[in-house]
A and B are shown apart, each in its own frame.
Chain A
Amino acid sequence: MATTTARPSSTRPPAGPAAAQRRGRPAKHRTDGIAGYLFLSPWLLGLLTITAVPMLMSLYLSFTNYDVLSDWESMEWVGLDNYRTMFTEDPSFWHAVQTTLMFALVATPLKLAAALGVAMLLNRPFSGAGLFRGLFYLPSLLGGSVALAIVWVNMFNRDGAFNSFLGWFGIEGKAWVNDPDFALGTLILLAVWQFGAPMVIFLAGLKQVPVELYEAASVDGASPWRKFFNITLPMLSPVIFFNLVLETINGFQGFTSAFVLSNGTGGPVDSTLMYTLHLYIKGWNEYQMGYASAMAWVFLLFIGLVTAVVFRTGRFWVHYSDGED
């Protein structure tokens, strides 16, 4: 093992013609490469068989009328029909797009703000800080869990805890999860509450900000707000960027909570019909798997596009310390 780890430094090729003259060098390079792939192979096999092949299959299926139940032989190539239907003939598709955008665009910024706020509070030294960090992180551990969504639904139901809370102030609540105007709101709240994962990352980022900067600012008489906007935010911007990319992608993929709240229907009145849920209903309730596959690919491209845009805008507001040094 020790010899293996030592190899890279000992065999690093000295640049120049001398290296090329030594026989056996290229062959050895090749064995290095093979060894690397061999060590990767368990993961690589998984990627190929469980991810890549099914993905390509779904790309193929998206051009067919595959319906899950019929024989493969009766499957027909329909060209771009599924894609055309999606954009021109399926009103629920556009509704689902709208619902998903609404969910992701509201939940993601709120979640990041909550994560950053709590991270800054927990960054101060006080006794029991570790305990609180753990407690705040807990909800996101249970992240995609069905149990949590069920708890949430009960909490915001007519006889739920939230209405009891409102009752203290003499406000009469309603069954929020059953109301098409509020159901999505409860899901957004659930997503925001699970801010633990970005919070931990923010916390790590905050610890990296040099204390001297704050000290210097204090000497100059900067207000806390000033310090936040002129030191914390710029210094933290790479971390914010990282969290933003991850959470945006997460937000768009929301499924479990909507599925549980609506019993897999997207109700009440399609108010929680997320893109992924619509896709699931098309594929598994209506057996239009070709169409569902097409939806999945459009979704992939869309998320790719959004991520690319986030990366593009990043150059205007993300400050990398190594670039400035």
Chain B
Amino acid sequence: MTAYHPLPRRRVLSGVVAAMLALPLALGACSSDDGAADDGKIELSFFWWGGEARAQLTEQALALYTQKHPEVTFKKTWQANQGYFDKLATLTAGNDAPDIFQIDDNYLAEYATRNVTADLAEYTKSGKIDTSKFQKGLVEYGTVDGKLAGLAPGENTQGLVYNKAKLDAAGVALPTTGQTWEEHIAWAKDAAAKTKVAGTMDPSADYKAFWLWLRQQGKELYNGSELGFTQADVQAWFELWKGARDGQSTPTPDVIHEGNATDVTKQLVVTNKALTSWVWANQLPELQKNTKDDLAVIAYPGDATKQWARASMYFSVYRGSKHKDVAADVLNFLVNDPEAGKILGTDRGLPSNLDIRSQVAASTDNAAMKETIQVMDELGKNFGPAPTVPPKGHSTVRSELIKAAEEAQYGRATPAQAAEQFFAASQAAIKR
């Protein structure tokens, strides 16, 4: 029977196909609104990484902004650090980056040199973003090629966190700021012998420790977009830590590898596999949550005035955003408004605005937090000039350092061989 009526069926089926073909078009049409409706309302998209706690604080602070500026609402998206930058890159590739997004110094130059971020300098010059109360050096540390690519909501600096409880119990003298690297390594050997826990985590794979050590030798990790050190420097650094390993000051290589992970919960000072961890000073409160032992923080060894105010992260504004002025005002609000500062606390590092920082310090009842702020304020008084933001390729340099340092730690390469490998690989990474 169907054989005699081919046309109607074909028509029906072609209708079905047409409908299926048209479906994506219809969906596409739905999504083409740009957040600026006729009634003057503005919706800004805001994207950050972090946990549940950060999400709550951020949402509260943004709600406060909306309360003060009812015409501005936010489309908030957040997720864990893992995968965050994949998503941000994908959104950017589709010309659909969020109006405001969180970023760190690992990636800031990657985005800024490719013209993804708006230059915030025009807002700091006009006073729309006020940085007059900022910790010295923080604005410079957000500047890439003369443009302010990101505004730092928080500061941190290198901090050596140690297990105070264990050291006190074993009657070992506590480490102090200002010890030389050699003194620290000798201290670690003694502490290990008395506590039966590895003395100090081996930071030879840690770019922030290497960077500071370089600065103390009058070098830099980067000069602009060039490497600021020589192969001989790397070798000396690796040899320093080979000496420490041979002298029983550090854990075994497989444990060091664990400590090279960046998660707070895997740091050796909280997993009790070493007496110290080389972290950022503002991580002390977070580390303290993961162990019952009393922890404390000091500067890294060597000349502490070579440490610098590092932006714990930045807020950047997308260059293609239709509401850059509003976004800049939101950033100004988040970093300078006392009420917002009270809500946000030290979740993104110690507040960049020093007035807000002291206000937070006065109101907190968290002992670890109080100590962090006190130590960092003390260090901050003597900070020299900040280095430039790490250039494009920095994340590769970081992973190449881990690779080379681990080669040396596992004894698969001599410090000289590992240094040669790292130097060649980082040169290639920076040049590309």
A residues apposed to B, CB below 8 Å: 3-4, 7, 11, 27-28, 31, 34-35, 38, 41-42, 45, 49, 67-71, 89, 158, 174-175, 178-180, 263-265, 267-270, 281, 284-288
Interface size on B, residues (CB 8 A): 44
**Is B20 at the interface (CB under 8 A from chain A)?**
yes
**Is B174 at the interface (CB under 8 A from chain A)?**
no
Bound-complex Cα distance A45 to B428 (A): 43
Within 8 A of A (CB), among B384-428: 393, 395-396, 399, 402-403, 406-407, 410, 412, 428
How many A-B pairs have beta carbons closer than 8 Å: the answer is 93
**Is B230 at the interface (CB under 8 A from chain A)?**
no
Bound-complex Cα distance A269 to B400 (A): 9
Residue of B nearest to A92 (CB): B425
A267-B406 contact given A41-B17, A175-B257, CB 8 Å threshold: yes
Residues in B with CB closer than 8 Å to A4 are 2
**Is B236 at the interface (CB under 8 A from chain A)?**
no
Bound-complex Cα distance A34 to B412 (A): 64
Residues in B with CB closer than 8 Å to A265 are 399, 402
Query: Can you name 10 extra interface pairs (CB under 8 A) apart from A49-B24, A175-B254, A178-B253?
Result: A3-B2, A28-B3, A35-B13, A41-B17, A41-B20, A68-B89, A263-B261, A265-B399, A268-B410, A269-B410
CB distance from B254 to the nearest CB of A (A): 4
**Is B104 at the interface (CB under 8 A from chain A)?**
no
A284-B402 contact given A4-B2, A263-B261, A268-B410, CB 8 Å threshold: no
Residues in A with CB closer than 8 Å to B395 are 285-286
Bound-complex Cα distance A179 to B406 (A): 10
Residues in B with CB closer than 8 Å to A69 are 89, 92-93, 110-111, 114, 116
Q: Is the CB of A287 within 8 A of B406?
A: no
Residues in A with CB closer than 8 Å to B396 are 285-286
A180-B410 contact given A35-B13, A286-B396, CB 8 Å threshold: yes
Residues in B with CB closer than 8 Å to A42 are 20
CB distance from A272 to the nearest CB of B (A): 12
Residue from B10, B85, B257 having most chain A Cβ neighbours under 10 A: B257
Residue of A nearest to B256 (CB): A178
Bound-complex Cα distance A7 to B6 (A): 13
Q: Is the CB of A287 within 8 A of B89?
A: yes
Q: Is the CB of A267 within 8 A of B2?
A: no
Q: Is the CB of A34 within 8 A of B10?
A: yes
CB distance from A283 to the nearest CB of B (A): 9
B residues apposed to A, CB below 8 Å: 1-3, 6, 10, 13-14, 16-17, 20-21, 24, 82, 85-86, 89-90, 92-93, 110-111, 114-116, 252-255, 257-258, 261, 393, 395-396, 399, 402-403, 406-407, 410, 412, 428-429, 432
Residue from A67, A69, A71 having most chain B Cβ neighbours under 10 A: A69
CB distance from B414 to the nearest CB of A (A): 14
Residues in A with CB closer than 8 Å to B399 are 265, 281, 285
Residue of A nearest to B392 (CB): A287
CB distance from A102 to the nearest CB of B (A): 17
Q: Is the CB of A178 within 8 A of B6?
A: no
CB distance from A261 to the nearest CB of B (A): 11
What are 19 A-B residue pairs whose CB atoms fall within 8 Å in the complex?
Answer: A3-B1, A4-B2, A35-B13, A41-B20, A45-B21, A68-B89, A68-B93, A178-B255, A179-B253, A268-B254, A268-B257, A268-B410, A269-B403, A269-B407, A269-B412, A284-B89, A285-B396, A287-B110, A288-B432
Residues in B with CB closer than 8 Å to A71 are 115
Bound-complex Cα distance A70 to B116 (A): 7
Q: Is the CB of B13 within 8 A of A68?
A: no
Residues in A with CB closer than 8 Å to B1 are 3
Q: Is the CB of B402 within 8 A of A267?
A: yes
Q: Which residue of A3, A70, A270, A284 contacts B403 across the interface (Cβ within 8 Å)?
A: A270
Residue of B nearest to A291 (CB): B432
Q: Which residue of A38, A49, A263, A288 contacts B16 across the interface (Cβ within 8 Å)?
A: A38
Residue from B20, B93, B396, B429 having most chain A Cβ neighbours under 10 A: B93
Bound-complex Cα distance A68 to B16 (A): 37
Bound-complex Cα distance A195 to B241 (A): 44
Bound-complex Cα distance A129 to B34 (A): 60
A268-B406 contact given A35-B13, A68-B93, A287-B89, CB 8 Å threshold: yes
Residues in A with CB closer than 8 Å to B13 are 34-35, 38
Residues in A with CB closer than 8 Å to B85 are 284-285
Residue of B nearest to A37 (CB): B17
Bound-complex Cα distance A69 to B393 (A): 14
Q: Which residue of B82, B115, B254, B428 contacts A70 across the interface (Cβ within 8 Å)?
A: B115
Residues in A with CB closer than 8 Å to B2 are 3-4, 7
Residue from B10, B111, B393, B432 having most chain A Cβ neighbours under 10 A: B432
Residues in A with CB closer than 8 Å to B402 are 265, 267
Residues in B with CB closer than 8 Å to A263 are 261
Bound-complex Cα distance A270 to B425 (A): 14
Q: Is the CB of B258 within 8 A of A267?
A: no
Bound-complex Cα distance A38 to B9 (A): 12
Residues in B with CB closer than 8 Å to A264 are 82
CB distance from B23 to the nearest CB of A (A): 9
Bound-complex Cα distance A179 to B85 (A): 28
Residue of A nearest to B252 (CB): A174
Residues in B with CB closer than 8 Å to A158 are 254-255
Residue from A3, A175, A284, A287 having most chain B Cβ neighbours under 10 A: A287
Bound-complex Cα distance A288 to B115 (A): 16
Bound-complex Cα distance A152 to B114 (A): 40
Bound-complex Cα distance A265 to B14 (A): 50
Residues in A with CB closer than 8 Å to B89 are 68-69, 284, 287
Q: Is the CB of B17 within 8 A of A180?
A: no
Residues in A with CB closer than 8 Å to B258 are 175, 178
Bound-complex Cα distance A45 to B93 (A): 24
CB distance from A251 to the nearest CB of B (A): 25
Residues in A with CB closer than 8 Å to B3 are 11, 28
Residues in B with CB closer than 8 Å to A49 are 24
CB distance from A259 to the nearest CB of B (A): 10
Bound-complex Cα distance A184 to B301 (A): 36
Residues in B with CB closer than 8 Å to A287 are 89, 110
Residues in B with CB closer than 8 Å to A269 are 403, 406-407, 410, 412
Residue from B86, B254, B406, B432 having most chain A Cβ neighbours under 10 A: B254
CB distance from B86 to the nearest CB of A (A): 5
Bound-complex Cα distance A107 to B415 (A): 34
Residues in A with CB closer than 8 Å to B253 are 178-179
Bound-complex Cα distance A49 to B23 (A): 13
Leading 8 A-B pairs by shortest Cβ distance: A178-B254, A175-B254, A178-B257, A69-B114, A70-B114, A269-B406, A38-B13, A68-B93
